Amino acid sequence: MAASARAFVLRHTRLRPVPGLEEIRLHLADEVLPLWYAVQVETGDPDAALPYWAFAWAGGLAIGRYLLERPEAVAGRRVFDLATGSGLCAIAAMRAGAAEATGVDIDAFAAAAIGLNARANGARVTVLRRDVLDEEPPAADVILAGDCWYDARLAERVLPWLRRAQEHGIDVLVGDPGRRYLPTGELIELAAYDVRTTTELEDLELKRGQVFALRAALPNRVD
Ligand SMILES: C[S@@+](CC[C@H](N)C(=O)[O-])C[C@H]1O[C@@H](n2cnc3c(N)ncnc32)[C@H](O)[C@@H]1O
């Protein structure tokens, strides 16, 4: 699957600069529906996931911009990019001077795309293809979570996992354009950017992408 997934990604994308982060180049698609159909045909699965990996999402773009402005957030540190998609946040972290970066995603095509994208940017990114949300927090100093709050079930699992990571002393940076399941009460805004995406994915080409830290958990009250 790995070699054919790589060939599939190359066939359906074009390597190009990321809007607003032109120093990073990714294998990106122009249109979502034909590619989604091609994924369904390739996998024989009519319920195959949307090809998230072929786009730079607003949450990841916001994290990328933040790391460009504030490289000290990751410089010299071990970075874990949850739901990495194209690998955008992991690659941005390496460009900002991270000691190492791991990108995790459940999608086989994402795993292929991250490898190709990391190589295109001369960045070393370790790729994990599995669901880590029932596991203990990773051996990392910073977790990046770009655009993870679009699905109720995923959102429900991401927050406790990020909280556990925070309790283990791991810094958490969330990037998001205000998706439906974003737990705003749990977050502190660090920065906001107008990020350019595509109306293939969003209602508007320019979205307001925010970067947040996770609010410290309140100690349990004992009355
Ligand atoms: C909207 S995309 C965001 C991609 C990237 N972070 C960005 O901002 O461009 C969400 C990604 O989450 C991945 N995903 C969904 N459930 C996941 C899980 N349980 N563990 C890891 N990744 C997951 C999807 O495959 C998809 O690539």
The conformational region for residue 178 under phi > 0 = left, psi -120 to 50 = alpha, else beta, is: left
Amino acid at 37: Y
Please determine, for residue 1, whether its predicted confidence score (pLDDT) is greater than 70: no
* Strand residue runs (E) in the chain: 14-18, 21-28, 78-82, 100-104, 126-128, 142-146, 171-176, 187-196, 206-214
> Ligand 1: which atom is nearest the Cα of residue 60?
8
Region 177-181: mean pLDDT is 97
For residue 139, the tally of other CB atoms under 10 A from its CB is: 11
- In DSSP notation, 29-45 reads -S-HHHHHHHHHHHHT-
> Which pLDDT score, from 0 to 100, does residue 199 have?
87
Say if residue 49's pLDDT is above 70. yes
What confidence tier does 158 reach under pLDDT thresholds 50, 70, 90? very high
Cα–ligand 1 centroid distance for 35 (angstroms): 17
Instruction: Return the H-helix or E-strand segment holding 132.
Output: none
Ligand 1 binding pocket includes 177 (Cβ within 6 Å): no
pLDDT at 216: 85
Helix%, strand%, coil% for the chain, nearest 5:
35, 25, 40
Quote the ligand 1 centre to 110 CA distance (angstroms): 9
Cβ of 155 closer than 6 Å to ligand 1, yes or no, is no
Closest ligand 1 atom, residue 55 Cα: 9
What tens digit of pLDDT does each residue of 83-122 get?
Answer: 999 999 999 999 999 999 999 999 999 999 999 999 999 9
Checking if the pLDDT of 128 tops 90, the result is yes
β-partners of residue 175 are 146, 211
Residue 85 — left, alpha, or beta (φ > 0 → left; ψ -120 to 50 → alpha)?
A: left
Q: What percent of the chain has pLDDT over 90?
A: 91
d(CA 24, CA 92): 7
| Cβ 176 under 6 angstroms from ligand 1 | no
Ligand 1 pocket check for 109: Cβ under 6 Å = no
**With contact defined as beta carbons under 8 Å apart, do 138 and 114 qualify?**
no
Cα 179 to ligand 1 centroid, rounded to whole Å: 14
Which pLDDT does position 219 carry in this prediction?
64
pLDDT computed for residue 2 by the predictor: 75
At 89, which amino acid appears? Answer: C
- Crossing angle of helices 58-69/88-95, nearest 10°? 10
103: Cβ below 6 Å to ligand 1? no
Taking residues 46-63, report their average pLDDT.
97
Tokens of 188: 């502190």
For the cut 80, the answer to whether the pLDDT of residue 202 exceeds it is yes
Q: Average pLDDT over the chain, rounded to whole? A: 95
Residue 220 has pLDDT above 70, yes or no: no
